């Protein structure tokens, strides 16, 4: 079955799904945030096949979220370390955890708790407005076309009535 690519869509959500939208990739990143670095660490924790893990790790390296650093010469073995781009994905994982904790956690509570070492308190992700710091709620948001939206599609998108013009 041929996989549809969203890599060229004029939507960063679609492009992100194209890069990370399988079952294993977000879990590999989660494990990297928890401290996994070596192939065997990912394999033993996640229990996925070696060929799938190799494919996903290579994809994350190619995309710039992980870097591959040798830690042993004979035989050559590598660690996978988060790059700045990879570390910037942490809020997405934290937001997924917050949603999962709210709707999918067992009755006994959250399976993993995030602890903010700067203030020494447990925490959870909140998505807030970058201007006023109020929580973002769907009913308070409208989508507008940004400068990166392709000019060739602009009139079509505006015609649907779903988008406003960015001023």
pLDDT tens digits along 42-98: 999 999 999 999 999 999 999 999 999 999 999 999 999 999 999 999 999 999 999
What is the per-residue pLDDT for 8?
84
Q: Is the pLDDT of residue 167 over 70?
A: no
CA distances from 136 to 37, 46, 92, 130, 131 (A): 34, 33, 14, 10, 11
Continuous segment of H or E residues that includes residue 50: helix 50-63
- Cα distance between residue 47 and residue 42, in whole Å: 8
Q: How do the domains of the chain map onto residue ranges?
A: 12-85, 89-144
Sorting pLDDT into bands at 50, 70 and 90, what band is 156? confident
The CATH class given to the 12-85 domain equals mainly alpha
Please name every residue paired with 80 in a beta bridge, in sequence order, or none if there are none: 68
Least confident of 63-72, 137-146, 156-165: 156-165
Closest CA to 55 of 44, 42, 73, 37: 42
Closest CA to 16 of 65, 58, 52, 49: 65
Taking the model in full, what pTM does it have? 0.86
Per-position b or e across 143-166, b if 16+ CB within 10 A of its CB: eebeeebeeeeeeeeeeeeebeee
């Amino acid at each position: 079955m041929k996989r549809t690519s969203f890599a060229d869509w004029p939507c960063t959500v679609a492009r992100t799904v194209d890069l990370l939208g399988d079952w294993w990739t977000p879990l590999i990143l989660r494990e990297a945030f928890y401290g996994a670095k070596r192939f065997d660490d990912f394999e033993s924790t996640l229990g996925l096949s070696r060929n799938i893990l190799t494919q996903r790790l290579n994809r994350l390296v190619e995309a710039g979220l992980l870097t591959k650093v040798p830690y042993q010469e004979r035989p050559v073995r590598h660690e996978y370390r988060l790059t700045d781009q990879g570390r910037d994905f942490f809020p997405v994982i934290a937001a997924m955890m917050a949603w999962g904790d709210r709707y999918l956690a067992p009755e006994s509570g959250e399976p993993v708790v995030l602890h903010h070492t700067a203030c020494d308190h447990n925490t959870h992700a909140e998505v807030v407005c970058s201007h006023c710091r109020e929580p973002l709620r769907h009913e308070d948001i409208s989508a507008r076309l940004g400068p990166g939206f392709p000019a060739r599609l602009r009139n079509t998108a505006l015609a649907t009535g779903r988008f406003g013009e960015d001023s």
